[in-house]
Structures are given as structure tokens and as C-alpha cells.
Amino acid sequence: MFKGTTILSVRKGNKVAIGGDGQVTFGETIIKPDAKKIRRLSQFNVIVGFAGATADAFTLFEKLEELLKNYPDNLLKASVELAKLWRTDKMLRRLEAMLIAVNSKVSLLISGTGDVLTKEDNVLAIGSGAPYAQAAAIALLENTKLSAKEVVEKSMKIASNICIYTNDSFTIEEL
């Protein structure tokens, strides 16, 4: 589990939203309050969020973009190929990050251990505040009529009030 961030994805109806906080920490010190940990890969209509080392995450974003060029309408296939590369490539296997990637069809958690996961409850979360954001999102999905984006925003707010590594400077994107 990575300390220092919360990334949450919620799928509801025909919408998917993904949000991340903006806090970057170095040890016990906050060094940046407004980082953007969510990236839109516009050419492929994909949104990706990361937890972990920033440079490592950007390397993985670039690799995912390259793979999406080979599989432009298949985020799942591109993600599986990324996980395979990440696990077997001498340089990539040292990267310390986790990703959530979403498009209009699928939401995926991608890790360096070779995992490409989706969940039937349509909620994915990574980072130190993930358990709080995920629990809040599940409860809000079951008990409210909020949109996916509203569930992400309210759940992230709850996580930011509990997790010391998560702040309330959110970036939220929706497809």
C-alpha cells in the first residue's frame, strides 16, 4: 500500500468518475498540496490515476499510451500487456506505483505484481486513503441517488478527513 495519496474510481449507470487528492508528501512533510494525479489520455478516451512515485507513474502512463496505440479500443488488453511488461522488464519491474485506468466500458486496477483487476461493485481505490474512500463510496452508491462524480467527491472528502496523507484538493474527471 502506498502512503501519500488516495485515488478512487466509481462507475454508475453509463458514467465513470475518477478522483485523486493533491497532496504529495516526503516522509512526514507535505511538499505539494495541489498535485494532479489524474491524467486524461484524450486520444483514447481513457482516464488514469496513480498512487506511488510520480516519475514511475509517468513512465507507466507513457507505456500505457504506447500500448493503447496498438489496442486503441481495448483498454483491458493494453492493461494486461502493461502488467506483463511491468512484471518482466528489468527496468519497469523496479517502478513503485499503482494505477487505476478507466474508459466507458471498464475500470481496472493495474499493479506491478501483474494484477489487472476489476470489481463487480464498480468501486476501485488505491493509496493510503483507499479503504476510507472505498467504504464511503460503497455506502453512498447503495444509499443515495448521487451521480458517480458526486459519490467520488463526497467519498474523497470523507477520506481526506481521516487519512493524514490525503488532502481535499481534488482532481475529478468523468466519462
Residue with the three cell numbers 498535485: 35
Catalytic residue, from 5, 6, 166, 171: name it: 5
Nearest alpha-carbon partner for 97 in 122, 133, 127: 127
pLDDT tens-digit map of 145-168: 999 999 999 999 999 999 999 999
Question: What CATH fold (topology level) applies to the domain 6-167?
Answer: Glutamine Phosphoribosylpyrophosphate, subunit 1, domain 1 (3.60.20)
| pLDDT band of 89, cuts 50, 70, 90 | confident
Of 20-29, 61-70, 118-127, 158-167, which gets the smallest average pLDDT? 20-29
Q: Which helix (H) or strand (E) holds 31?
A: strand 29-32
Q: Is 5 a catalytic residue?
A: yes
What does pTM read for this prediction? 0.93
Beta-bridge partner residues of 38: 49
Kindly list the domain boundaries of the chain, sorted by start residue: 6-167
